[in-house]
Chains A and B, each alone.
Chain A
Amino acid sequence: MKWLQNDSSNKAVLFPMASPQALAAADIALPMRPAGLDQPFVNGAVEGPAGKIPRVSSALTWQDRWGSIKARWGVGRMHYAVDPGLYALGSPDAGSPVLVTANYKMSFDRLREALPGRNAWILVLNTEGINVWCAAGKGTFGTGELVRCIAASGLKDCVGHRELILPQLGAPGVSAHWVRKMSGFTVHYGPIRARDIPAYLDAGLRATLKMRRKTFSLPERAVLIPIELVAALKPAALLVPILVLISGLGGRGAFVQNLIHDGLFSLTALLLAILSGAVLSPLLLPWLPGRAFATKGLAVGLAAAIALLSYWGLDLKSGRDLLLGGAWLLMMPGISAFLAMNFTGASTYTSLSGVRREMRWALPVEIGAGLSGLAVLLVSRFF
C-alpha cells in the first residue's frame, strides 16, 4: 500500500506565484469556432461585432429537463455538452454582466434557469463536458482556458466593461490575479449556487456568507444516488451469473433446488449490500458512525447482513447454511464499505489527504472481506 502514502510523485503543491502553465501566446491566439446557432436550445441570435452570437432563454424546455434526468441516471452523461463560446441570454448590451460557466449542459441550464427576465452574456469554457467544480479541480475550468476563451470569443468587443462573474466553485482552477494581468478582466467570484445569482447581482456583486458555504444536505445527497446506483449495478450484473453457477452446482439437491434455496439468498444479499453502500450510506451519511466513509458503509453493510440473516431463517445447525450466512456476513460489509468509500468523490467536503488516509486501511479490509467471503461461499458448496 505504499502508493497510498503521500509520496512526492503524487504531490501537486500549488505555487501561487508561478505563472500558470498552458498560457503560451500561441495558445491564446488559437481561433475558436463560435458557439453553434443550430443547437436545440438556441432560440435566435444577436448581432455581435464578429458575427452572430447564439441567443438562449432562461426558460427550460421539457427536452432540457429530460436531459438533466437522463444525465442523473448516467444516460449519455459523458457527452452532455454545449458548444463552448459566447452566448446571449435575452438581449444583453455593452453594459450587461458576463457570467462564466462550464460546457456541461446541466451547468449551463442551471445558470440560465436562475436568471429569468435578465439580460446577460454567458461565456462557456471548454471543460470537456464536465461541471464547474470537477473541471476546476482538473484545471480545465482554469486560468488558461478562461484567458483563451476571452480572447477567442471576441468578448472585448461585446462589452464596454472589463468584469467577469465566475462561480465560486470555479476558484480551485482559476487564479483571479493572473486573469487580470493576462486579459485585463477582473474576476468576481459569485455565489456557489446559481439560484443565488439574482440576489448577488442586485446587491452590487456582494454574496452573503451563506451563499459562500457549500452544504451537503439530504436533498443534495439524494440527487446523487441514481448515478451511484447505476455505477454499482453494472459490475454487479457480472457477478449474478457467477453466483447462480456457484449456488446451483455443489450442494445436496438438484441445480434448480439449490438455486432456489441458496442462490436466492446470495442474490438478495448482493442487492442489499449495494443498497447499503450506494443508497443508504449517502442518505444517512451524517448520522452514521465514524468519519471515514468506509466506516459508515461498513456499519450499514453489517447491519443489513445481520438483518438479512435474522429474517431469512437459515438453518444454522446445517454446516452449509452456516457457511453461506458467514460468507455474506463478510461480503456484505465489504461491498457496502467499498461503495460508500467511492461516494467520497461525490461528496462536498472530503480532502485528497483524507481519502488517501482512509483508503490505506479500508481498501485492504474491503478486498480481504470480499475474497475471504467468496472463499467461504465456495467451501459451503461441499457441505
Chain B
Amino acid sequence: MIYLKNVVTLEVDRDKCTGCGMCLEVCPHAVLAMEDRRVRIRNRDACMECGACARNCPVGAVSVEAGVGCAAAVINGLLNRQAPSCGCSLDPKNASAGKVGGCC
C-alpha cells in the first residue's frame, strides 16, 4: 500500500555512501536499493519516515525528517503546542500529555 505522493523528506547523499547496506536491512518498505555499490532511493512514496535508515547509517549519508505518522499525535502536538506525541505512556509525568488517545 502506498500513502500520499511526493511528501516524503528522505534524502540520500550518494557521495557519502559507502555501500554497507545497513539502511537496506532496516527499511520495512524496501524504499532503498543498491546500485553500483551505493544506495539510491528506489520507491520514495513507500517511505514512512520512520528514520531507521538515517539512524543506522554510520556515515550520515541518509537523512529524513523522522516522526510517527499518527493523526492523534499531531492533534496532541497542536493542543499542547509541542512536537507530535501520541500520549501512549506509562510514565506518570506524561500522563496528561495525551488528550487524544493514541494507538500504539
Who on chain A is nearest to B94 by CB? A128
In the bound complex, do residue B4 and residue A4 qualify as a contact, i.e. CB atoms below 8 Å apart?
A: no
Residues 50-81 of B, flagged 1 when their CB comes within 8 A of A and 0 if not, give 11101111111011111111111111011001
In the bound complex, do residue A351 and residue B69 qualify as a contact, i.e. CB atoms below 8 Å apart?
A: yes
Cβ of B86 < 8 Å from any Cβ of A? yes
Cβ of B46 < 8 Å from any Cβ of A? yes
Interface size class, chain B: 35 or more
In angstroms, how far is the closest chain B Cβ from the Cβ of A350? 3
Residues of A within 8 A of B9 (CB): 6, 353
In angstroms, how far is the closest chain B Cβ from the Cβ of A282? 11
In the bound complex, do residue B3 and residue A291 qualify as a contact, i.e. CB atoms below 8 Å apart?
A: yes
Which segment of A164-172, A308-316, A372-380 sits at the interface? Answer: A164-172
Separation of A291 and B81 alpha carbons in the complex (Å): 28
A351: contacting residue among B49, B81, B83, CB under 8 A: B49
Among A80-113, those with CB < 8 Å from B are 81
In the bound complex, do residue B86 and residue A134 qualify as a contact, i.e. CB atoms below 8 Å apart?
A: yes
A358: contacting residue among B4, B58, B84, B86, CB under 8 A: B4
Residues of A within 8 A of B74 (CB): 4, 352, 355-356, 359
Who on chain B is nearest to A345 by CB? B70
In the bound complex, do residue A168 and residue B26 qualify as a contact, i.e. CB atoms below 8 Å apart?
A: yes
Among B1-57, those with CB < 8 Å from A are 1-5, 7-9, 22, 25-30, 46-52, 54-57
Residues of A within 8 A of B62 (CB): 16
Separation of A3 and B77 alpha carbons in the complex (Å): 9
Check A351/B89 contact, CB under 8 A, given A16-B55, A137-B68, A216-B1.
no
In the bound complex, do residue B65 and residue A12 qualify as a contact, i.e. CB atoms below 8 Å apart?
A: yes
In the bound complex, do residue A14 and residue B56 qualify as a contact, i.e. CB atoms below 8 Å apart?
A: no
Residues of A within 8 A of B75 (CB): 359, 363
In the bound complex, do residue B55 and residue A345 qualify as a contact, i.e. CB atoms below 8 Å apart?
A: no
Q: Which of A16, A291, A293, A344 has the most CB of B within 10 A?
A: A16
A209: contacting residue among B30, B49, B72, B88, CB under 8 A: B30
Who on chain A is nearest to B70 by CB? A345
In angstroms, how far is the closest chain A Cβ from the Cβ of B55? 5
In angstroms, how far is the closest chain A Cβ from the Cβ of B90? 4
In the bound complex, do residue A286 and residue B30 qualify as a contact, i.e. CB atoms below 8 Å apart?
A: no
B68: contacting residue among A134, A212, A358, CB under 8 A: A134
In the bound complex, do residue B7 and residue A351 qualify as a contact, i.e. CB atoms below 8 Å apart?
A: yes
Interface of B is mostly: loop
Q: Which of A293, A342, A358 has the most CB of B within 10 A?
A: A342
In the bound complex, do residue A81 and residue B2 qualify as a contact, i.e. CB atoms below 8 Å apart?
A: no
In the bound complex, do residue A342 and residue B71 qualify as a contact, i.e. CB atoms below 8 Å apart?
A: yes
Check A13/B69 contact, CB under 8 A, given A129-B90, A291-B4, A357-B7.
no
In angstroms, how far is the closest chain B Cβ from the Cβ of A231? 5
Which segment of A61-69, A173-181, A261-269 sits at the interface? Answer: A173-181
In the bound complex, do residue A189 and residue B26 qualify as a contact, i.e. CB atoms below 8 Å apart?
A: yes
Separation of A6 and B71 alpha carbons in the complex (Å): 14
A345: contacting residue among B28, B57, B104, CB under 8 A: B104
Residues of A within 8 A of B46 (CB): 349
In the bound complex, do residue B1 and residue A285 qualify as a contact, i.e. CB atoms below 8 Å apart?
A: yes
Residues of B within 8 A of A138 (CB): 68, 85
In the bound complex, do residue B2 and residue A349 qualify as a contact, i.e. CB atoms below 8 Å apart?
A: yes
Separation of A78 and B45 alpha carbons in the complex (Å): 33
Separation of A16 and B11 alpha carbons in the complex (Å): 13
Who on chain B is nearest to A216 by CB? B1
In the bound complex, do residue A3 and residue B78 qualify as a contact, i.e. CB atoms below 8 Å apart?
A: yes
Given A4-B78, A354-B7, A354-B8, 5 further pairs, Cβ under 8 A:
A168-B26, A174-B56, A176-B22, A351-B69, A359-B74
Q: 24 A-B pairs, CB-CB below 8 angstroms?
A: A17-B59, A130-B90, A137-B50, A168-B28, A168-B52, A172-B66, A174-B55, A175-B55, A189-B26, A212-B28, A212-B30, A231-B103, A291-B5, A345-B68, A345-B104, A350-B3, A350-B48, A352-B84, A353-B49, A354-B4, A354-B8, A356-B74, A358-B71, A359-B75
In the complex, the 6 A-B pairs of residues with the closest C-beta atoms, listed nearest first:
A134-B104, A345-B70, A352-B67, A350-B69, A171-B52, A214-B28
